[in-house]
Structure 1
Amino acid sequence: MLSASVKDVAALAGVSVGTVSNVLNRPEKVSPAVMTKVQMAIEKLGFVRNDAARQLRAGMSHSIGLVVLDAANPFFTDLARGAEDSAAAKGFSVLVGNSSDDERREASYLGLFEQQRVLGILLSPVGDILSRLEQLRRRGIPTVLVDRVSDNASFSSVGVDNVAGGEMAVRHLLSLGRRRIVFVGGPSSIRQVADRLTGARKAIKEVFDATLEVIEPDSLTVLSGRAAGEAIRNRPVEERPDAIFAANDLLAVGILQALMLMGTVQVPQEIALIGYDDIEFASAAVVPLSSIRQPSALIGSTALELLLQEVSAEPGFKTSRVVFPPELVVRASTRG
């Protein structure tokens, strides 16, 4: 069934197409009586205006695309909320896509947003897609990288120093006297994971008798964390680590479940555990999780501000690289 058109509304209301257009776009030019007739026709026909076409004709969209790595991760939910709140205050809306760490899904969303002629895109990239972003910019769609500090000065970016965050997490474990540390995080193709591991390795090098084992799951989920935790729990006691650094809090929650709820390993007495992101679940876990905090909502709102600056920029505009410092939050999972 075809949707009703402006012509259908005009015919049913007994007015011209121009009058319907005025009702939709310039209601102050229409009398109350005509307004009522047109609104009744719209309601009866179920007419829905085509904002995408209207924006294309006007040459200006009020929609912004946001592609996140994992919509199931509360970190990205908070990031999106920060972007949405900032956008709404300025009369814009945010369309959210979830790549699920999949380059094909990421490409699909970028293509969709380009077709929709969005004003710009906020992107937490899966891999290296600078050539695609340059193509979008040539077509009039600027992009700001979120939760990712860009090495390329041609694009603005907002994120946290993940190398420093990884270093901070492992230094905290080392300060507790822990020496057999496991890093759980993957896939390593995700830049944030790789940076956190780099920081962990830097910290380990500072202590001569400390070791760092790496377990690389396929995803950054609770289920992947549970599988890693079960594998560690099933080792002989003498082969277990005395501390675990999880690349995000979802992994840490899964590890905690495997060690304590599904086994008998005590956290932190036997194994200290720290995560990353400081999502709400971290403080509410059966053993409240220590974590490295990122200002998720602030990352989203700052990225939105940078994007709007670029949209309205004059020739010679210079991009910005905003790097927030991470923060150590100590809770019971390392405070034994």
Structure 2
Amino acid sequence: MSMVSIKDVAARAGVSPGTVSNVLNRPEKVAGSTRDRVETVIRELGFVRHGSASTLRAGHSRTVGLSVMDIGNPFFTDVAAGVEDLASERGYAVILGNSSGSRVKEERNLLVFAEQRVRGVLITPSDEDQTRLDMLRGRGIAVVLVDHPAERADQCAVAVNDVTGGTMAVDHLLAGGFDSIAYITGPSSLRQCQDRRRGAERALAAAGRDPQELREVSMPAMTAAAGQQAAEKLLAQDRLPDALFCANDLLAVGMLRGLLQGGVRVPDDVSLIGYDDIDFASATTVSLSSIRQPTYQLGRVATELLLDECDNPDTHAHQQIMFQPDLVVRESTR
């Protein structure tokens, strides 16, 4: 079978080759009925564009890179869904890179993105160093931070106010009249962990209590397995805290499992709250109270900012968007 060309598609659809090109590269610029007709012909003829050739002509591809810290965390899966949905609507594909919280792996992913000539990069960075992101910008690749506030005015970022979220979580626990509260967290280098602790300390101070009262159990990862290990650490101590604030729901899920296996009743003996409100937070043996983040919206809005910068570099205005979290109360707290 001979290769089908853009001219073949245009002839069958009764449009110009330029219109076919717009459907492939700038679908939002083509009327819906025309776009549908062209896409139908593309499917009928089995047309596949020569990606490498178009990339060489344009200097970039119709792809964007997404670098997340842990694709095994449903939080990032939901963010990725928001990214992919909007990118697909705009005629872009998404290349996913999972850094596993490793700067070395993250740098490798960014190198692959650059080699593939992505149009832009969405990233939840593993640390605060901007050097590698500035290198991407130097190559003409737009960058938007996801779940991380911007430190500078010359970049876009979409985040959730984690200080407020931490305050909400501990305010809720304080309302239960608990004497001792522990914070179960991940690596201290992560901004999210730092900000959620700051919020927790702010809640204690506002209640007239010493922020240093907050006991901390720091784990090397923010996974369910790490949460269960944290539970084992607490169970080995003389006295359990009255209430626990976990820096994400995976830690809380593991903590819940460890406590129940140790004969601790939740919430009768210990109240427990997580963070993120992932889908199965409501489906655990004892449904988890949590701080809800608008995960899908985070991904979608970040992609909107990225594509605007890519497609309208002369008129694009950098924005730093901060969403507010919500408290979701379920069975694990009282």
TM-score, length-normalised on structure 2? 0.85
Amino acid in the other structure paired with 1:230: E
SS at match of 1:26: helix
Q: Distance in 1 between matches of 2:118 and 2:302?
A: 16
What does residue 69 of structure 1 align with?
Answer: 69
Amino acid in the other structure paired with 1:227: Q
Gap change, CA 1:29 and 1:223, over 3 Å in 2: closer
Q: Distance in 2 between matches of 1:52 and 1:145?
A: 28
SS at match of 1:104: helix
Sequence identity, in percent? 45
C-alpha contact 2:277 2:293 (8 A) present in aligned 1? yes
How many Å apart are 1:153 and its aligned residue?
Answer: 1.4
The equivalences for 1:141-160 within 5 A come to 141-160=141-160
Determine if the alignment matches structure 1 residue 218 to structure 2 residue 199.
no
Q: Distance in 2 between matches of 1:232 and 1:183?
A: 11
How many Å apart are 1:315 and its aligned residue?
Answer: 3.4
Q: Distance in 1 between matches of 2:183 and 2:320?
A: 28
How many Å apart are 1:300 and its aligned residue?
Answer: 0.1
What does residue 161 of structure 1 align with?
Answer: 161
How many Å apart are 1:81 and its aligned residue?
Answer: 0.2
Gap change, CA 1:249 and 1:55, over 3 Å in 2: same
Q: Say which is worse superposed, 49-58 or 90-99, in terms of deviation.
A: 49-58
SS at match of 1:145: strand
Structure 2: tracts of 5 or more residues without a match: 13-45
How many Å apart are 1:52 and its aligned residue?
Answer: 3.3
Q: Distance in 1 between matches of 2:7 and 2:333?
A: 62
C-alpha contact 2:64 2:122 (8 A) present in aligned 1? yes
Which protein has the larger Cα radius of gyration, Structure 1 or Structure 2? 1
Q: Distance in 2 between matches of 1:233 and 1:24?
A: 68
C-alpha contact 1:52 1:116 (8 A) present in aligned 2? no
How many Å apart are 1:269 and its aligned residue?
Answer: 1.1
Q: Distance in 1 between matches of 2:59 and 2:206?
A: 57
Q: 2:8 aligns with which of 24, 27, 35?
A: 27
Amino acid in the other structure paired with 2:216: V
Q: Distance in 2 between matches of 1:24 and 1:172?
A: 62
Q: Distance in 2 between matches of 1:103 and 1:64?
A: 20
What does residue 38 of structure 2 align with?
Answer: none
> Aligned-pair RMSD on alpha carbons?
2.3
C-alpha contact 2:81 2:299 (8 A) present in aligned 1? yes
TM-score, length-normalised on structure 1? 0.85
C-alpha contact 1:292 1:328 (8 A) present in aligned 2? yes
C-alpha contact 2:65 2:121 (8 A) present in aligned 1? yes
How many Å apart are 1:131 and its aligned residue?
Answer: 2.2
What does residue 289 of structure 2 align with?
Answer: 290
Structure 1: tracts of 5 or more residues without a match: 1-12, 14-18, 32-42
Gap change, CA 1:192 and 1:52, over 3 Å in 2: farther
C-alpha contact 1:56 1:117 (8 A) present in aligned 2? no
Q: Distance in 2 between matches of 1:53 and 1:253?
A: 48
How many Å apart are 1:312 and its aligned residue?
Answer: 2.2
